[in-house]
Structure 1
Amino acid sequence: MKKTITNLLFLIGILSFTALMSCDEDLENCTGCPDDAPYGTIDGGCYATLSDCENNESGNCVICQ
């Protein structure tokens, strides 16, 4: 029983890690930015241009509408 629980926890850990690492920033979407400032990050602000966003958010920008 202990080995089964350990294996289950290990599998959950691997699946969680895989889910987090498989996100491609170019394909991620976030919501909340207006049409006149469509670029942003998942937890950051909204910017009118991609270059402004990359300068302020360390290059982790996506279309955030």
Structure 2
Amino acid sequence: MCKSLHFQNFPEIGMIKYDEYNTLSWIIGEKHFLVVINGEVRYCGVNFPYMNMDLHLGQPAPIFIGSNGQAS
């Protein structure tokens, strides 16, 4: 890992902002699972076990994800 002025590089994963907030998005779909960091697609996966499940059998429930006390 090498640090530049504002970014930190992780081999084979890419760069993230160093000492700043980064924007992270998860797109969880029926056929794809994507991870987007700072507007750049970093991971796209298919054929995960949940993709073959009948998710209509369960009751929807909230998912809380946060840091620095943002989740309540």
TM-score by length of 1: 0.23
Higher helix share: 1
Which of 1 and 2 has higher RCO (CA within 8 Å, sep 6+)? Answer: 1
Query: Looking at CA atoms only, which structure, 1 or 2, has the larger radius of gyration?
Result: 1
Q: What TM-score do the two structures reach when normalised by structure 2?
A: 0.22
Greater strand percent: which structure?
Answer: 2
